[in-house]
Structures are given as structure tokens and as C-alpha cells.
Structure 1
Amino acid sequence: MLDARNHQGKFGADYIRVLASAAGLNWSQDDVDLDGVDLCIKLPGRTPRGFSPRIDVQVKTVSTLQARHGLINFDGLNQRQFNKLAGADFTVPRYLFVVHVPRSAAHYADLNTSGLLLRHIGYYVSLSNLDTVASPDSGRRVRVKIPMSNILTATSLLELVIEQTPLPAG
């Protein structure tokens, strides 16, 4: 059985995989996380924005949300992790996905006659407009503010994949 920390993290990634599947998207995962990407999510095939548009995401989980004035204050990234998401110099757009999960794993999912319920909810934010930290220290945290309106759904995930891919030149 997984320890509580790994169980929570796995559930968060699985939550995103379920949304991707519901949106008709493919997801993949590198065999080793070397560059801060947990999942690659893409729309297979040719689109008006090119072939197989995709995004890369780092998935984090929290059992307690720190929300204030319509923003979630997320303190779960150290400076090195932050630098792997911040800035505009990525070929593939990157996002931080934060999944708010129940404190008890017994409440992660529930089944009833109307279907399967996954708890609680996921949020997204791009850090492309933020500068990286000079001389990052893995012992220091960076606070990221996530608009509470940035809710992850199958539809919003599909929109992130499609809309963040630049239109081809010409």
C-alpha cells in the first residue's frame, strides 16, 4: 500500500488523467521526471493550430486550500521546481495543476447509482509571465497565486491544449 504522501500525489495525477480521457485527449508520462513535467497532454491529429497540439503539466496536490480574495495561495513549489515552470522560453506551454483532495484517502472517490465521483477539484495556472528565480534554492518556497476561476474540467483542459498552441505562420 502507498504511503499517504505518494497516495495523494498519485490520486492527483489520476484525476488529471481522467479529465484528459473525458476530453478526448491523450496523455503520456516520461519514464523519469527530469524537467518538472508530470504529464504531457495532447489532442491527437491535425487541427487548425497544427498537428497534435499539446501542453506539459506539473501536478501538485493539497488537502487544505489557502484561498483569499478569489486566489489560491499555493506554497508547494520550491524555487527549482518553480523555475521549471516559469518564463516564456518553453517550446511546449507548461502549466501548474493543483488538485484539492480530501484529507482522508477514503474520501477520494465515491460510487453511487448516478456514477463515479472524484473529489475535490483541480485548478490550473501558467507561470509563463513570471521571471525565474536567480540562483534557485530547493530549500526555499515560492508562493504561486492561482485564480479560483481557473477550474480544471474536461472542457477547460481541451481549451488549454488547443488555445495555447500558436497558429502556424502564413
Structure 2
Amino acid sequence: MTERLIRKIGDPVLREKCQPVREVTPNIARLLDDLAATIYGGDNRAGLAAPQVGIAKRVAVLDYDGSGLIELINPVIVERSGKQSGHESCLSIPGAYGLVKRSQYVKVMTWDRQGKETFVEGRGDLAICLQHEIDHLDGVLYIDHVKPGELFSEHDSKPMDVFQMIRLSRSGSGR
């Protein structure tokens, strides 16, 4: 297990629609291990998707509350309900957080490490984390869901320009 470098806003891989995994190979298992090592290697790391470490594959991991690692391979939200709003941040967008509206409940169809189809259900914070990581696999960042005036600096809680952040992230100039 190796900690990987986290790609930052402006890196084009963060905007790619990731390719599905055809089979769980030793390389995919190593990627899952490395993603886990990377989230456990820092503070306040709830989840991480493969494009955040430069790999455009539909793979992500999360442990939003320290209760155990959830591995996602080819995840698809198959059911959702309710609405909630909360502050989100992202390892790839350091120094900012934003108010995001998400579903209160999601059911996700995914593969486990053995390539077997399984389901993960989440409510509240887990639902937010699942949606956030699956968005990464589609090239979507949380700032894409933030309205003007609802993106803030982590340093002083002052409003930031979400449109400037989106432009930066799409231009590929933020490495």
C-alpha cells in the first residue's frame, strides 16, 4: 500500500468520465489498497476516487466516519430519495468548502474486490460521501453544484467566486 499524490483542481483527469473496470485484476486491487492508504494517511479524508490520484477508472474508497472502509468498483446510483444540504470540501480543491444539495438516501450498485455485484445504502453523511465520490468518476466536482455566494474559504469563511474555480478546473491550468 502506497500513499498517492492527490491531483488538484485544474488537472484535466479530474474532469474525465472514468472508464469502467472490466475485471478486478491485481492492478485494481493495488489501486484500492493505495486509495485506502492515501485517505488513512491524512487528516479529514472521508473518501477518494481514482481520478484524484490520476487514474481514470471507476474506482473509489470511503470511510466517512471511521467505521470501516467501503470499496466501490463501477458504482451506479440505482435509487435515491429525499433532499439535504450540507457543506462539502474536497482534497482536490484545497482551501474551500461549499453548500451542496444532495439526496438524503442513495442505494448504490457496485462490485466488491472479488468482482461480485453488491449494494451499498447510505443516508445522511454516508449518502453525501457516496454521491461526492461517484460524481468524481463522472468528471463532476462539488463546486459544479454550488450556487454563487455558497463557496467559502476554509481560512476565513469568506465567500469565494465559484465560477472562477470552475473556470480554473476546466482550463487545466491548476497543477
TM-score, scaled relative to structure 1: 0.27
Higher Rg:
1
TM-score, scaled relative to structure 2: 0.27
